[in-house]
Structure 1
Amino acid sequence: MAFYSEEQTEDYLFKIVLIGDSAVGKSNLLARFARDEFYPNSKSTIGVEFQTQKMDINGKEVKAQIWDTAGQERFRAVTSAYYRGAVGALLVYDISRRQTFDSIGRWLNELHTHSDMNVVTILIGNKSDLKDAREITTAEGKALAEAQGLFFMETSALDSSNVTAAFQTVVREIYSILSRKVIQSHELKKHDPTWMGNGKTVILQGDGDQEADGQPKKAGCCSS
């Protein structure tokens, strides 16, 4: 979750999840981003692992807690706890395996079912180095992302291309939404001195539009 208080404006912790079919390269994307490492013979992730990576966003220290889990069906029991509190997601497919691209809809449904708020999501076409084995065109990936309101990027954990940019895109967008929410909460407090907003969890709800009953309106994930 993302927390804000006037005394600790530099303390931001964002939970980000990696999702997608098994062997699309989720663990190697995380290894490349967090430790600049790549494991050509890496085995499937068993259970759940996570890394915490510090980033500087607009002069503020942001910690991204990135969770990686197995893509195999038999580990699906971890889903509820895995998604809980996530504010960002990297949804990964392998550009050389059509089946992993066809699974994107199912993963999006799972993300929406188990997450408790709008999650900033980027669609990742990984293994862009496998040009000769490509089964999904860049245009296809971009079209799906646009249709679903997602960011989009092709990456290669092998040669590092766009890996850092992909994670930073998600973190920067979360930070941007959070910053708008903080400004709005300060404005509320100015106009209503009895409003007790300090230290509360800031829910990422898009641009803060309201329904007729005054409740925040759900907004889809932002597109690039």
Structure 2
Amino acid sequence: MDSTSSKQPDFDYLFKLLMIGDSGVGKSSLLLSFISDAFDDLSPTIGVDFKVKYLDIEGKRLKLAIWDTAGQERFRTLTSSYYRGAQGVVMVYDVTRRETFTNLADVWAKEVDMYSTNPESIKMLVGNKVDMQNERVVTRKEGIDFARQCGCLFIECSAKTKMNVTQCFEELVLKIIETPSLLTEAYGVKRNIFKQTQQTNDTNGCC
């Protein structure tokens, strides 16, 4: 037996994904819904939380390292370092709160441009809480138009009903796979991106 075989990674690609957006838009609930079958109204994330998810897509075993950042302004300097090396960025807003949509352009898109170290990183714009149609204030067309303007993928989700949650992450990952420069650094590499200093709380937060 090859003595090195036991040291091979248990995945073909390791992708780092970052979730950003205002506090309360449901980033942590989306992540929890994707990782498990659970849905909870969660307290705000303190700093950064972190989850791992394995996916099998197109015959490849993928390891997703998903960083869930706090939306509160006081944590911005802490979370800026987590943009480094991210192949995918999930930008989340709440379709029932217009300011969370407006802040995508005013705050979050600017942060991606400022801190991202992968010029070709894939961005996914996510309108969450579409189960609350009676309270919707941001239209689907507005979301589509903003995504086109920023060169993002776009999807509307509900963490509560799980509508499009898995599809959101799978479409993002498929686009990453189609981008050679992002695959080069993710292929069979067991870079320890888990060693970055992180400040987390024991329970996930809905930020």
TM-score under structure 1 normalisation?
Answer: 0.75
Q: Which residue of 2 aligns with 1:101?
A: 101
Q: Does 1:77 align with 2:77?
A: yes
Q: Which moved more, 1:15-24 or 1:103-112?
A: 103-112
Q: Does the 8 A contact of 1:10 with 1:61 survive in 2?
A: yes
Q: Does 1:161 align with 2:157?
A: no
Q: Which residue of 2 aligns with 1:60?
A: 60
Which of structures 1 and 2 has the larger relative contact order (alpha carbons within 8 angstroms, sep 6+)?
2
- Distance in 1 (alpha carbons) for counterparts of 2:72 and 2:167: 27
Q: Does 1:174 align with 2:176?
A: yes
Q: Which residue of 1 aligns with 2:32?
A: 31
- Distance in 1 (alpha carbons) for counterparts of 2:183 and 2:49: 30
Deviation at 1:57, TM superposition (A): 1.6
CA 1:157/1:200 → structure 2, altered by over 3 Å: closer, same or farther?
A: closer
Gaps (5+ residues) in structure 1? 1-6, 183-197, 202-224
Deviation at 1:72, TM superposition (A): 0.1
Q: Does the 8 A contact of 1:79 with 1:114 survive in 2?
A: no
- Distance in 2 (alpha carbons) for counterparts of 1:51 and 1:146: 29
Deviation at 1:177, TM superposition (A): 1.2
Instruction: Please tell me the residue identity of whatever aligns with 1:37.
Output: A
Instruction: Please tell me the residue identity of whatever aligns with 1:72.
Output: Q
Instruction: Tell me the SS of whatever aligns to 2:109.
Output: helix
- Distance in 1 (alpha carbons) for counterparts of 2:182 and 2:27: 30
Deviation at 1:27, TM superposition (A): 0.2
Instruction: Please tell me the residue identity of whatever aligns with 2:23.
Output: S
CA 1:74/1:176 → structure 2, altered by over 3 Å: closer, same or farther?
A: same
Deviation at 1:69, TM superposition (A): 1.2
Gaps (5+ residues) in structure 2? 1-7, 191-207
CA 1:33/1:114 → structure 2, altered by over 3 Å: closer, same or farther?
A: same
- Distance in 2 (alpha carbons) for counterparts of 1:181 and 1:45: 30
Q: Which residue of 2 aligns with 1:110?
A: 111
CA 1:173/1:57 → structure 2, altered by over 3 Å: closer, same or farther?
A: same
Q: Does the 8 A contact of 2:17 with 2:65 survive in 1?
A: yes
Q: Which residue of 2 aligns with 1:21?
A: 22
- Distance in 2 (alpha carbons) for counterparts of 1:181 and 1:91: 21
Instruction: Please tell me the residue identity of whatever aligns with 2:100.
Output: T
Deviation at 1:178, TM superposition (A): 3.2
Instruction: Tell me the SS of whatever aligns to 1:49.
Output: strand
Q: Which residue of 1 aligns with 2:142?
A: 140
CA 1:72/1:200 → structure 2, altered by over 3 Å: closer, same or farther?
A: closer
Moved over 4 A (4+): 7-10, 179-182, 198-201
Instruction: Tell me the SS of whatever aligns to 2:179.
Output: helix
Q: Which residue of 2 aligns with 1:119?
A: 121
- Distance in 2 (alpha carbons) for counterparts of 1:47 and 1:10: 28
Structure ID, larger Rg: 1
